[in-house]
Amino acid sequence: MSHDHSHAHTGAGTTLILATLLTLGFAGVEAGVGLWAGSLALVADAGHMVNDAAALALAAGAAWLARRPTSLRHSYGLGRAEFIAALVNSIGLLVLVGWLTVSAVERLQQPQAVQGEAVSITAAIGLAINLLVAWLLTRGEKNLNTRAALLHVMGDLLGSVAALLSGLIIFFTGWTPIDPLLTFAIGALILVSSLRLLRESLHGLMEGAPFNIDPEAVGRALAGVPGVASVHDLHIWAVKADEPLLSAHLVVRDIGQWESVLDASHALLAERFDIHHATLQPEPMVRIVRWRAPPGRGHDHDHEHDHAHD
């Protein structure tokens, strides 16, 4: 079963590229001002914006790769590059968190002067940029990549607010320890997002079932299709985040009815689980398997291990 998403991916890609350029461009400005003004919190927020830019670029790259034709050498396309880039991105973010933590501890031990007014103005502009990027993403085509990118940007809004608070507090009170203290808070935000990204990228590279799909539920649902006696050798994985793949062996009661069983199974997978690429193999009733449809097409679950009768 094939679906043409080229127009949607083109729209999503254009929005993501524009959002990436806005975010990355201002991250450079913010880092420069942060170094000049002596604000570690502002440099940390710039690092967080680079994280967002990387996430946006990753989503834009995925939209571009989705339009690339498959080949005999890459029959599934190049979507796996999304997981590889996410892995590299997450490792880089963990290094950034380590540097920010060490620098914040040193700044607490040896306070430095901070230009509160410059920090406040720059952080306020950064907050406005993040709001603009979030608005662009909400107006664009909604898919897994744009939703994930939007979550990154919403997290960065908190980083911009922290940097803005740091600048205002220093400007009005002169209390410079607030800068490294808020740097710890921004570092914690980056740590949470980077660990989540690391988990998702490793899970994808290890060909784990997508987190939004329950393999047990899929197995039971397939076993409940009329004409299916049981299901075994069920595998669910993803070449890229928004395109799950499935393969399974279906033990059918009447092999002559396989065509109707196949159509019903594909329809069920697409409608209930958003799985549009499935390879299903029919087998006669000679197996005791994991998912068994009892008389009356109920959904009781049989936990016996796979094996064939002699």
Contacts from 260-263 at CB under 8 Å and sequence distance 24+? 260/227, 261/225, 261/226, 261/227, 261/228
**Cβ atoms 115, 176 nearer than 8 A:** no
For residues 129 and 108, state if they share a domain: yes
CATH code for position 192: 1.20.1510.10
Number of domains in the chain: 2
Q: Would you state the pLDDT for residue 231?
A: 95
Structure tokens that stand for 197 in this block? 């990204």
CA distances from 205 to 87, 157, 269, 277, 280 (A): 9, 30, 23, 19, 23
For residues 71 and 189, state if they share a domain: yes
For residues 19 and 151, state if they share a domain: yes
For residues 114 and 142, state if they share a domain: yes
| Mean pLDDT score of the chain | 80
CATH code for position 253: 3.30.70.1350
223 lies in a domain? yes
For residues 100 and 226, state if they share a domain: no
Q: Would you state the pLDDT for residue 84?
A: 79
For residues 199 and 222, state if they share a domain: no
For residues 41 and 183, state if they share a domain: yes
Sheet bearing 228-240, strands edge to edge: 277-283, 243-252, 228-240, 291-292
156 is in which domain, residue-wise? 6-205
User: For 64-89, how does the pLDDT look when each residue is reduced to its tens digit (9 = 90+)?
Assistant: 776 778 888 888 877 777 787 778 77
Domain boundary among 205, 225, 241: 205
1 lies in a domain? no
For residues 119 and 36, state if they share a domain: yes
User: For 106-143, how does the pLDDT look when each residue is reduced to its tens digit (9 = 90+)?
Assistant: 888 888 788 888 888 888 888 898 888 888 878 766 65
